[in-house]
Amino acid sequence: MSTHECDVAVVGAGTAGCYAAAAAAADGLNVVVIERKDESEAGHIACGDALKGADAFPDAIPKSEIRPSFTNTGVDHGRFELPEHDTVLDIPVPGELAVIDRLEFGRRMIDGATEAGAAFHYNTVVQDVLQEDGRVTGVRAIRTGDPVTYEAAVTIDAAGALSILQDKADLENTTFDTNVSYSQFCSAYREIVEVPEEVEWDDALVFKPTERAAGYLWYFPRTSTTINAGLGFQMTEAPMKLVQDLRADLQTRPEFEGAEVKDKLGAALPTRRPYDSAVAPGFVAVGDAAGHVNPTTGGGIAGAAYAGTYAADAVVDALADGGPTEAALWEYNERVMDHFGARYAGLDVYNVLSTAIDVDDLMGLLASIPGEKLAEALYSGSTSMGLGLKLKSAVKSFGYWGTILDFYRTKQLSEKLIDRYDAYPSDPSGLEAWQNDRDDLMDRVYETTGAEPKY
């Protein structure tokens, strides 16, 4: 058995792992990235390929190095197809949007982390976690068929939603969030499809509801003829036949006649709030492994990049000042919550609502509201409209006023929840009291929405 010693062992070469490795290596730490795939497949990850916030990425890996993987920067709105109501909603989206070639993006991130000084060990499958006196001290793995041990001051779990590290580690006496179940995840599948003619909607991210709540189909144009087509559903729902259901919808769309499938992959992703704490002595979880995903859309690239960077910054500070205790690593939790964690937790309230609301009522309500007003409500918080438009919307939305009231009450609770996250504790000793306050508010969410408790 061979042994490698390093300052930081990063498990997983996805977005969060590469940014964590790049940032830590750039600060002079000895970093090894442990990746189960071989070098040619590393970076090949199931993804919707849509990137919101492409204009604001951390500089641990310079944007200039990953930008060539942005294959379509002309998308500027969401296109919501509601076939049961014979309606298409075009909703403008602020900020820079891009659709990317995910494999090219992944490889460029690996190159960026390598240039920063991180070493990559491919064909390496982690099997266990090393611990000593309650602190994680590395991992055991099989590398190209041979046992190997990685001894590290800090282990960063960037192995995704199905990571085994949190199952293998004893985290019971830490603040690390163990309140996680399969029902808080989504199962998804996507194909890269080449169509013979240019699609008319190559400037839009196309969404379409499935026949059940908490699920949708998507069509994201990498180019005008290369489409990322996929679908997903919440694991609280009855299982979908993902491949067959996607194929059935593709066959109803004339633009996909004669199309050729170039690639196909499935994945699980978290559609839950971020972990309350993603640190333990010698251990940090980032990206999908810590619930750093927009729970309403599954989008997680930008959040993962920042989470990896924030984790590396906390590790660098901790190793320079007494060691990687929970308290020393806590700044990572604070930065995540301050940047995007609170907002994701607020959005999770709508995810909870979606499991209880009738999907036909939801689609009918959306069909009755002008797209530009939905955009204002989603992105600017404004819901103002002229008297004439108010009356027109009121008439069209008649029959959905109960659903509107549910959304209004849910929005109020979501805003209150975000306020609670703004009071996230500055050290581990305050976590339990903060959780109790937050959970009291979540009880009101379940009571208001009629949804089953999610946590």
| Dist CA 433 CA 436 (whole Å) | 5
Region of poorest pLDDT, from 34-48, 208-222, 304-318:
208-222
Token pair 């976590």: residue: 431
| Dist CA 15 CA 57 (whole Å) | 11
Amino acid 404: pLDDT: 58
Candidates 314, 288, 282; CA nearest to 14 is 288
Are 215 and 269 a contacting pair, CB within 8 Å? Answer: no
The domain segmentation of the chain, as residue ranges, is: 2-71+100-180+272-339, 183-270, 348-449
Backbone angles phi, psi at 147, to 5 degrees: -65, 140
| Dist CA 15 CA 286 (whole Å) | 10
Amino acid 242: pLDDT: 87
Amino acid 447: pLDDT: 93
- Cross-strand pairs, 263: 192
Architecture of 2-71+100-180+272-339 per CATH? Answer: 3-Layer(bba) Sandwich (3.50)
- Cross-strand pairs, 127: none
Amino acid 397: pLDDT: 43
Amino acid 383: pLDDT: 39
What kind of fold does domain 183-270 have according to CATH? D-Amino Acid Oxidase; Chain A, domain 2 (3.30.9)
Token pair 């600017």: residue: 380
**Interval 19-33 mean pLDDT:** 98
Are 438 and 417 a contacting pair, CB within 8 Å? Answer: yes
**Interval 216-223 mean pLDDT:** 94
Residue 90 pLDDT class (50, 70, 90 cuts): confident
| Dist CA 291 CA 160 (whole Å) | 9
What percentage of the chain reaches a pLDDT higher than 90?
68
Candidates 27, 28, 77; CA nearest to 50 is 77
Task: Check residues 368 and 61 and name the one with the higher pLDDT.
Answer: 61
Q: Label the pairing between strands 279-280 and 260-270.
A: unpaired
Q: What angle do CA 299, 300, 302 make, to 5 degrees?
A: 115
DSSP letter for 68, please: G
Token pair 């960077």: residue: 309
Task: Check residues 1 and 158 and name the one with the higher pLDDT.
Answer: 158
Q: In a 3-state reduction of DSSP, which class is residue 447? A: helix
Kindly give the interhelix angle for 15-26 and 102-116, rounded to the nearest 10 degrees: 20
**Interval 291-299 mean pLDDT:** 88
User: Which of the listed ranges 345-354, 396-405, 437-446 does the model predict with the highest average pLDDT?
Assistant: 437-446
Amino acid 395: pLDDT: 42
Asked if pLDDT for residue 237 goes beyond 90, the answer is no
For the chain, the first-to-last Cα distance in angstroms comes to 41
Amino acid 362: pLDDT: 53
pLDDT tens for 344-363 read: 999 999 888 877 765 555 55
Cβ neighbors of 133 (< 8 A, separation 6 or more) are: none
Mean pLDDT of the chain: 88
Encoded tokens for 321: 């000042």
| Dist CA 160 CA 118 (whole Å) | 20
Same fold, 2-71+100-180+272-339 and 183-270: no
Token pair 């293998």: residue: 168
Sign of the dihedral through C-alpha 357, 358, 363, 364: negative
**Interval 78-94 mean pLDDT:** 80
Asked if pLDDT for residue 139 goes beyond 70, the answer is yes
pTM above 0.75, yes or no: yes
